[in-house]
Structure 1
Amino acid sequence: MNRFDALKDLVAFNKPVSVLSASLSKFDWDYEGQLLTVMASQVQEVLKRFLAGKYSVQELEGWANLIECREDLEFEEKKHEEIANVIYCLANPVLEGEITADSCKALITSLDCSDD
């Protein structure tokens, strides 16, 4: 598996966190090549799947931790700050508050693309 395939799996959250982490651990942390763009709609989809019961709170936090501060990912330009905030909040529930259905609904709304 190459870096971009591993990143695509990560962004889509279509494998368990442990598998994603193992796949990503095969690549150097420092990266200067082409970046994969994380779209607001992709993050919204992960949050919606969480609300539908597809992931636990711990899995969602683990997913966000894998995304946070990666040098091989960039966030959609129009929603960069919003995506960065959502990932930060999910990766840091001790600092930002517990991950709940209500907090995830608010995060989905913060990423709303319909008014762009």
Structure 2
Amino acid sequence: MMDRKQRAYIFQSFDALKGFREMLKEKEQIQVAPRILSEDDLEELNRRIHQVRTGDMLQIEYWDQGAYFQMTGKVSCIDLENRRFQLVKQKILLEHIVDIQFIEQEK
């Protein structure tokens, strides 16, 4: 007679092609080229970047590995030496940012 753990192991799902699902998921993603911002947009973005302080709540749109992402969170670190912000735990390179919006925090 089998104990419960051994019996449960028999009915565990089986992945015959390890990594195949992950590969399919990668292929399904549509690659997007990074946007080229106009001089005016770059100046405005640069102005906003220089206004950012640790603890600010931001909504950042950025490009990373062929796709655009939007993230909202508090700035936990500003690393100008390596040219990046850190929102919560996500590190975002400054050159990948296409838009920054400041979000008012309730007091």
Indicate whether the TM-score tops 0.5: no
Structure having the larger proportion of residues in strand = 2
Q: Given the two structures, how large is their TM-score scaled by the length of structure 2?
A: 0.25
Query: Greater relative contact order: 1 or 2 (C-alpha under 8 angstroms, separation 6 or more)?
Result: 1
Structure with the greater alpha carbon radius of gyration:
2
Structure having the larger proportion of residues in helix = 1
Q: Given the two structures, how large is their TM-score scaled by the length of structure 1?
A: 0.24
